[in-house]
């Protein structure tokens, strides 16, 4: 099945007309027909991502990668094809500021080279408390699932039912969650605070779309 056929199939599954899809993408109907008829070769990410979002799927699905162990990226301009790829699930959003509730909702997959640092899941950063660690609002934070980290490591930490991304340190029965922004104060949880602190994962990498 071609990219255009998958786009059309998904549109029909959602009971969307060509005009409705065009309106949601701020395109004209002729452009949608061009997508579905495979008249646009090497469809760029700037087209695939909003298209996948409106169609409630992932770019990987539209490209046909999710059903193939051998991901062929040679048709994507500017991509050097790695030897082997793996998919890391994006589970939701995590606060880089005051803790917010982290809903582990499926938010698609991110394809990375299998030889890159091991990661089990991804959370999307929200806020600016970690900018001195080069983690910015909207960045994708790659995490290795673990219940413990060494002092000084950046981790996703659950405080009762709220999650935050901070640098972790301990002092006896006290957990200190240190931001990487001088404008923020650390979050300090003491043993007598009657709060449950659970480490969800250690940060192993960050993907940012910011220009340098």
The rounded distance, in Å, linking the Cα atoms of 177 and 7 is 44
Catalogue the active-site residues.
129, 166
What is the number of alpha carbons within 13 Å of residue 98 lying toward its C-beta? 0
How far, CA to CA in Å, does 174 sit from each of 166, 186, 197? Answer: 15, 12, 10
Residue pair 156/201 in contact by the 8 Å Cβ criterion? yes
The rounded distance, in Å, linking the Cα atoms of 20 and 8 is 13
Q: Would residue 194 be called left, alpha or beta, if left means φ above 0 and alpha means ψ between -120 and 50 degrees?
A: left
Residue pair 179/185 in contact by the 8 Å Cβ criterion? yes
């Amino acid at each position: 099945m071609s990219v255009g056929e998958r786009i059309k199939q998904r549109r029909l599954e959602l009971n969307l007309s060509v005009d409705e899809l065009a309106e949601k993408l701020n395109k004209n109907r002729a452009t949608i027909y061009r997508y579905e008829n495979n008249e646009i070769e090497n469809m760029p990410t700037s087209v695939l991502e909003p298209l996948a979002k409106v169609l409630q799927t992932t770019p990987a699905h539209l490209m046909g990668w999710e059903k193939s162990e051998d991901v062929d990226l040679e048709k994507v301009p500017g991509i050097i094809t790695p030897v082997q790829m793996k998919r890391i699930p994006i589970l939701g959003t995590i606060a880089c500021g005051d803790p917010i509730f982290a809903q582990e909702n499926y938010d698609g997959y991110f394809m990375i080279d299998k030889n890159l640092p091991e990661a089990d899941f991804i959370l999307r950063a929200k806020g600016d408390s970690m900018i001195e660690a080069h983690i910015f609002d909207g960045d994708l934070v790659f995490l290795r699932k673990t219940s413990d980290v060494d002092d000084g490591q950046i981790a996703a930490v659950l405080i009762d039912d709220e999650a935050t991304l901070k640098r972790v340190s301990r002092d006896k029965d006290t957990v200190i969650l240190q931001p990487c922004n001088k404008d923020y104060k650390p979050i300090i949880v003491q043993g007598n605070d009657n709060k449950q602190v659970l480490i969800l994962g250690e940060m192993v990498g960050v993907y940012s779309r910011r220009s340098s």
